[in-house]
Structure 1
Amino acid sequence: MLHRRSGIHGLHLSAISLSISSCAADPTTPTSMQTLLRHAADLGVSHFDITPSSGNPEGNAFATAQALPALLPRRETLAFSARIGLGSQPPGLPGFGSRKRLLSGLDSLLLHTGLDYLDLLYAHRYDAGTPLEETTGALASAVHQGKALYIGLSGYAPSMVRAALVHFRALGVPVASCQASYSLLDRWIEDGLLDILRRNGIGCVAAAPLAHGALTPSPLPPQQDAPPLPALSRIAADRGQNLAQLALSWVLRRPHITSALITATRPHHLTEARAALEQLTFTPAELADLDVCCPPPEQPPPHPAHTPPLSSPGYSAAP
């Protein structure tokens, strides 16, 4: 398994990551979760996301806890992450980016899963109803309390990432990672966000690299089986890959993408995903064909950064 450094930080994640909660919440999963997780760990997957699903976060956290014993003997070699914020707590609760919601949500997740700490805690989505300094301060508190080792942002627009970095620098707590949807069918992070992360030494975890199942070799409903999928399937076949492997190889071709976060219901899904790491090189012709099938966003003119590049990940670990 390929492991990559998260930006300039010492945190290294497996290039293929697995969302435990998504798998645990899927009633169609034919393989027991513990069997699936053992297989993932045996393949070298070392990063597991345990974000509670929306609607029933406590029940989902309990289902995740039931599967975790398969991984806990290897705890010191694994990284567990979670997103706290929009959709990770019962519907209707206001202030999802507030200190109250972030820290109580973290405490609830640790309580229900039995974990002592998270390796990586994300604030999920910018909350316009909460001051940004309150959200960043809550994440810093989680680090100072020893409940999270690293912090990150999830689903934040480039302008809000830049603004948040100002507060994090003042707090002495660096951002180690940003999580954002990224796939052949959703290339929005190429429109500014990747450049900000690269210049500031922040890693990037690509969520939904298979576009929520659209980029899989499984048969699709007729209304979804439309261009560019047939063309993508032909490119994949020419490379000796299936569609999902092509999608993962394409996302991970960028060295700055730390990891691709996937879901899986069968062990062979994970085996095929790892095989995609053997073909991360694309010819110029292949990339051109993929750009025709899935055009990149229009690039805006360069603009000056609002924050200076991060030169060191040092932070205060005061209690």
Structure 2
Amino acid sequence: MTYQANDERYSGMKYNKTGKSGLQLPAISLGLWHNFGGVDTYENGKAMLRTAFDLGINHFDLANNYGPPPGSAEEMFGQMMKTDLAPYRDELIISSKAGYRMWPGPYGEWGSKKYLVASLDQSLKRMGLDYVDIFYSHRFDPHTPLEETMGALDQIVRQGKALYVGISSYTAEQSEEAITILKQMGTPMLIHQPSYSMLNRWVENGLQDVLDKHGAGSIAFCPLAQGLLTSKYLKGIPAESRAAKETGALKEDSVTEEKVAKVRLLNGIAEQRGQSLAQMSLAWVLRGGRVTSALIGASRPSQIVENVAALSNLDFSPEELASIDEILK
């Protein structure tokens, strides 16, 4: 059956201006890091993408190495572009990244111009696109001059292969230098993609100030701490969870009793707010307007529906924020 997007898809979503640019991102974006690879069920991935877009999520975030195997998430998304999303291309914000290992040898990872340009060319072929809307340097490369890495991003924009560029997981100091270099080249740095959640607040130690200073946006990945800030772990580690899987990024030994105790207390505040823990966690990341978008992952469509419902209550009282800070102290 031919896919027809929901006519009301933009009525319930909140869109935020990305820094000082003209680009607006949905407050909730969908990442394809997990559950969209070659080892996953295509029909489930298709259902999640359709659900997301029908709810107004028009930003889909990928990377060259997403899968597994690496590259397969982009291939899956490329198939969805052909069968479902092609008529809506001009409504979509599609992003990809390069930085982690993709092929053998010295030019298969990190931040050289050789690697970044070649990787994006491969990503465009996998997705069947002429350009991506945002292309990121996925991680800082200590072995390559930052001028070369940023020069590659500048070249990619000038070649029309990306409309905007960003960086991911750079420190405040590295971000300051990268933004300055790009500004001198005439290509503004649009956005930073850091990890950020109630259990991981490193961006508050300078990075957010750098981004505000230069008018750049931010999109937080792992705002639910890879599922830890959901109801999933309140009673232990479920067999189907990421922490229980050897291949999962969330390791079982990172789900400590101390963390779970804090999560249970946070869940109590969420219940008082009439939200699930996941919904409150997303609202907390978006509080105050310093984060442009919260980047969620999902394993089934119902999780996307639940997460988007967080937007119905984004406000926190001073007492709620103080209680959360006390729990996390």
Q: TM-score range by the shorter chain?
A: 0.7 to 0.9
1:23-49 deviation per Cα after TM superposition (whole angstroms, max 9, x unaligned)? 302856695222221111110001101
Q: Is the 8 A contact 2:34 2:297 kept in 1?
A: yes
Q: For the residues of structure 2 that align with 1:13 and 1:91, how far apart are their CA atoms?
A: 35
Matched-pair identity in %: 41
Deviates more, 1:12-21 or 1:216-225: 216-225
1:1-319 to structure 2, matched below 5 A, reads 1-25=13-37, 27=39, 32-53=44-65, 56-68=69-81, 69-87=83-101, 89-90=102-103, 93-94=106-107, 96-219=110-233, 220-221=236-237, 223-224=255-256, 226-295=260-329
Bigger relative contact order (CA 8 A; separation at least 6): 1
Structure 1 residue 65, shift from structure 2 partner: 2.0
Q: Is the 8 A contact 1:33 1:67 kept in 2?
A: no
Q: For the residues of structure 1 that align with 2:166 and 2:179, how far apart are their CA atoms?
A: 10
Over aligned residues, Cα RMSD in angstroms? 1.9
Q: 1:317 matched to which residue of 2? A: none
Q: For the residues of structure 1 that align with 2:189 and 2:206, how far apart are their CA atoms?
A: 17
Q: For the residues of structure 1 that align with 2:42 and 2:117, how far apart are their CA atoms?
A: 35
What SS is found at the alignment partner of 2:54?
Answer: helix
1:137-173 deviation per Cα after TM superposition (whole angstroms, max 9, x unaligned)? 0000010000000011111001011111221121000
Q: Give the TM-score of the pair, scaled to structure 1.
A: 0.87
Aligned length: 294
What SS is found at the alignment partner of 1:254?
Answer: helix
Structure 2: runs of 5+ lacking an equivalent: 1-12, 239-254
Residues 294 and 26 of structure 1, relative CA distance in 2, 3 Å threshold: farther
Q: For the residues of structure 1 that align with 2:125 and 2:277, how far apart are their CA atoms?
A: 39
What SS is found at the alignment partner of 2:232?
Answer: coil
Structure 1 residue 124, shift from structure 2 partner: 1.1
Residues 114 and 21 of structure 1, relative CA distance in 2, 3 Å threshold: farther
Q: For the residues of structure 1 that align with 2:72 and 2:193, how far apart are their CA atoms?
A: 24
Residues 161 and 132 of structure 1, relative CA distance in 2, 3 Å threshold: same
Q: Give the TM-score of the pair, scaled to structure 2.
A: 0.84
Q: Is the 8 A contact 2:131 2:160 kept in 1?
A: yes
What SS is found at the alignment partner of 2:271?
Answer: helix
Q: For the residues of structure 2 that align with 1:77 and 1:206, how far apart are their CA atoms?
A: 22
Q: Is the 8 A contact 1:56 1:90 kept in 2?
A: no
Q: For the residues of structure 1 that align with 2:285 and 2:17, how far apart are their CA atoms?
A: 16
